[in-house]
């Protein structure tokens, strides 16, 4: 198959442009990791339209995320955990980041915490885990600890996911997820299990499965949280 000179030139320029962008982004993150700070950028784009350039298709968005190198987590991840489940689900479960098992296997509900969450969904909500949608604040496993820069890098992806799934309810799993989503640092224990508002979507915070494994005595409270979630979902029918 022959390619004329004009198409060849355009193709080469496109590759070079993407290569330059990737190298520039890599070097900026490298300098940032070495302690260099940049001036705070001007926010010229309203928050509610920042993700307009992202695709309006969940499969295309997944492809974008799987090829993302916006933060240093891309250097250490084994797999990208974009999301899993029913794209028309009335409920989204959001955790903070993939577990080590999920990162290793490239699938949600892996390991002991994944098995526990699966049982909570299937035994209390009476739903198959494939009927709900699950994702994370960040799509790659952190090697040390999650921080705000990781969440900010992934935030537009998460917001677009929520927009495309368009759920009736969000379940935030764990204190860190609650804190990042609602910008609340100290009120998880008071608000856990309560119906809150997140961008005009109902949100209920509850314990993460990892926390429940470490603190089995909290399973009773988590059970009542799940019953409340079940009740909300039944009322949306």
Can you give the pLDDT at residue 149? Answer: 84
Can you give the pLDDT at residue 54? Answer: 87
Q: pLDDT digits over 165-196, tens only?
A: 999 999 999 999 999 999 887 899 999 999 99
C-alpha distance from residue 202 to each of 30, 37, 191, 207 (Å):
39, 37, 13, 17
Question: Is it the case that residue 10 has pLDDT exceeding 50?
Answer: no
Closest CA to 180 of 202, 211, 159, 210: 159
- Please tell me the distance from the alpha carbon of residue 134 to that of residue 139, in angstroms, as a whole number: 11
Question: Is it the case that residue 12 has pLDDT exceeding 60?
Answer: no
The interaxial angle of helices 219-235 and 111-124, nearest 10 deg, is 50
| Residue 237 burial by Cβ neighbours in a 10 Å radius (0-12, 13-18, 19+) | exposed
Question: Is it the case that residue 127 has pLDDT exceeding 90?
Answer: yes
Question: Which stretches does DSSP call E strand in 42-88?
Answer: 84-85
Q: What is the mean pLDDT of residues 87-114?
A: 94
Q: How confident is the model at residue 50 (pLDDT cuts 50, 70, 90)?
A: very low
Q: For a pLDDT cut of 70, what percent of the chain falls above it?
A: 78
What is the 3-state secondary structure of 104-146? HHCCCCCHHHHHHHHHHHHHHCCCCHHHCEEEECCCCCCCCCC
Asked if residue 139 lies in contact with residue 99, where contact means CB atoms within 8 angstroms, the answer is no
Buried b / exposed e over 225-235, threshold 16 CB at 10 Å, is bbeebbebbee
Longest dimension (CA), the chain: 70
- Please tell me the distance from the alpha carbon of residue 91 to that of residue 172, in angstroms, as a whole number: 11
Q: Which residue blocks in the chain are alpha helix, DSSP H?
A: 5-33, 58-66, 73-76, 100-105, 111-124, 148-165, 175-182, 188-191, 209-214, 219-235
Can you give the pLDDT at residue 8? Answer: 42
Can you give the pLDDT at residue 6? Answer: 45
Can you give the pLDDT at residue 194? Answer: 95
Question: Is it the case that residue 121 has pLDDT exceeding 60?
Answer: yes
Domain coordinates in residue numbering, the chain: 1-37, 48-235
* CATH code that applies to domain 48-235: 3.40.470.10
Question: Is it the case that residue 68 has pLDDT exceeding 60?
Answer: yes
Question: Is it the case that residue 45 has pLDDT exceeding 90?
Answer: no
Asked if residue 173 lies in contact with residue 208, where contact means CB atoms within 8 angstroms, the answer is yes
Question: Is it the case that residue 28 has pLDDT exceeding 80?
Answer: no
Contacts of 43 (CB under 8 A, 6+ apart): none
Q: How confident is the model at residue 14 (pLDDT cuts 50, 70, 90)?
A: very low
pTM above 0.85, yes or no: no
Which is more confidently placed, 12 or 209?
209
């Amino acid at each position: 198959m022959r390619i004329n000179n004009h198409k060849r030139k355009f193709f080469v320029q496109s590759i070079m442009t993407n290569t330059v962008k990737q190298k520039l982004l890599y070097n900026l993150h490298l300098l940032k990791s070495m302690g260099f700070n940049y001036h705070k950028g001007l926010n010229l784009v309203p928050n509610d339209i920042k993700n307009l350039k992202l695709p309006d298709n969940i499969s295309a968005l997944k492809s974008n995320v799987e090829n993302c190198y916006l933060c240093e987590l891309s250097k250490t991840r084994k797999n990208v955990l974009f999301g899993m489940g029913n794209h028309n689900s009335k409920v989204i479960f959001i955790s903070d980041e993939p577990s080590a098992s999920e990162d290793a296997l490239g699938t949600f509900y892996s390991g002991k915490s994944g098995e526990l969450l699966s049982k909570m969904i299937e035994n209390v909500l009476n739903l198959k885990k494939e009927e709900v949608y699950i994702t994370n604040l960040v799509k790659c496993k952190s090697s040390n600890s999650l921080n705000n820069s990781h969440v900010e890098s992934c935030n537009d992806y998460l917001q677009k996911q929520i927009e495309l799934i368009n759920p009736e309810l969000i379940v935030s799993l764990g204190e860190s997820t609650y804190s990042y989503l609602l910008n609340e640092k100290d009120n998880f224990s008071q608000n856990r299990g309560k119906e809150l508002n997140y961008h005009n979507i109902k949100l209920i915070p509850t314990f993460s499965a990892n926390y429940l494994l470490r603190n089995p005595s909290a399973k009773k409270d988590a059970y009542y949280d799940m019953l409340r979630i079940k009740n909300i979902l039944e009322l949306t029918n």
